[in-house]
Structure 1
Amino acid sequence: MTHHPAIVPGTVAVVTGGASGIGLAAARRFAAAGMQVVIADLPGPALDAAQQALSTDGHTVHAQPTDVSCRADIVALRAAAQALGPVSVVMSNAGREGGGGLFAGEEVWRATLETNLWGAIHCTQVFAPDMIAGSAPGAIICTGSKQGITLPPGDTAYNVSKAALKALTESLSHDLVQQTAGRVSAHLLIPGFTFTGLTRARGVEEKPEAAWSAEQVADYMMERLAAGDFYILCPDNEVDTATDRKRMLWAAGDVAENRPALSRWHPDHADAFRAYMAEEG
């Protein structure tokens, strides 16, 4: 399999939120490519079990207890990773749901933004300068969400965090093009409906038929990284890429056509949206 130029044996991949779900599946792919892998997650049995499971596969995997909302922890993560070799891949994947809507308590908002957004800011500001200053290929991957693009009503704090993460990763990509001419690249992973620990936390014990597995997302990510995609827009077993693109184009049209905010769910535009989605092409 052809890989992104940064995914080469002997270099180091750092994956936050690496103890489960998409992060764990991605760590397994990086390790299989011959990389040394550092999985970072909150300390506890899940992190220990993930390291043991990956090491059982015959790979060299290191576990670093990390709270991504704490910059000192990210600095320590960088030191641990650099002790193993040159860091060529950083996957800022740690995330949490918000919950409670717009008027959720301050603690919900702060915890969501500090993990989903500030975790990525810390990783970018701590790891990117050395990658920029080097001479080898590199890749920084941020795990976003379709909810950060179409903003469905409900989990407002989560939507805001992922919308901001999209803006951060787009700006990072531009800066890396300017400073490294593409030698170091940024990528926004946009999973579809995926069966992960977050899904289990909502009481779903078995993978729904509509969902992709974390392994499918990781495989798709590796394929699209190799192709050089910035937006890695994943389908799932219910929604294909063409449908996702149409929904996103409608959302962008709210601004361009001066429709009400989130018009897809607005009663005055619901019929127009349904008709738009039913159009072919």
Structure 2
Amino acid sequence: MTYQHERLSANAHDRSGAHRADDAWLAERWADERSRVLVVSGTRIKPVDGVISWVSPAEAPDGLRVLLGEQDGRAWFAVVVDADVARADQGEWAPLRGLLPFLADDALAGAPLVFHALGLAEWLWVTRFCPRCGEPLQPRSSGHELACVNGHVQFPRTDPAVIMVVTSGEPGSADERCLLGRQAVWPEGRYSTLAGFCEPGETLEDAVRREVQEESGVVVGEVEYFGNQPWPLPASLMLGFIGRAVTTDITVDDHELEDARWFTRAEMKELAEAGTLLLPRGVSISRSLVEHWYGGELPGSW
């Protein structure tokens, strides 16, 4: 079975790291009419007729040029312009979360290029001053480095986050259950896998156990790696796991979760078909984890 989250990392591009500071190479590729550019205003993109639009370098506005890499015999760039462009425009400029419904079907360039562009744009947006001396930072290396006048260099950061489906009962049996939770701000019926950030000095497996116990009170023993997914919202790498519960009593923390409950496969199917259980969107690794446990596709999504 091909899982939905894998669509967002398929067809990865060559990031061409060796050329990020090669001015002659960059100028040659920018002059090539086959090259394509994604215009980003602050951290937002303006879809055209529901499709992510890439333009030629000649059509791109002035701004910070970010080299994304090469794919399909051409170079791909992003141009990051001031966020005021989006604010002043009457059109609909969307953040990455708003693009997810059709990102996986973007046949022109694919999701990895968009994730790369918006991940860097988010980092550039929030990283303005040197954390060591407080001086302003200036971009270099095609937007992949920031440096201050004192020579301190900053690089993009990715925060590891664990996301897990927790199971209880005999694997594969009709009585086996999986644990899902919901936040208070979500619409009625929306449930998802539990997730959280890895803390300093912590293994990923221990992060799974800690997050599940903190949020639901359930103790997890065995933890098995499932897969991963880039998730620049704003700067995460989601690392998926399957955890086996040692205890099953639920006590939600009332801080991150409003509710958590166990679902059998039969319950999940019945509620999803009725529309009273809303599961994560199809392209997310959360959906993949749930359907991996369930053993097939499920109806409905957020």
Place the TM-score, normalised by the shorter chain, in its bin.
Answer: under 0.3
State the TM-score, normalized to the length of structure 1.
Answer: 0.26
Pair member with larger Rg? 2
Bigger fraction of residues in helix: 1
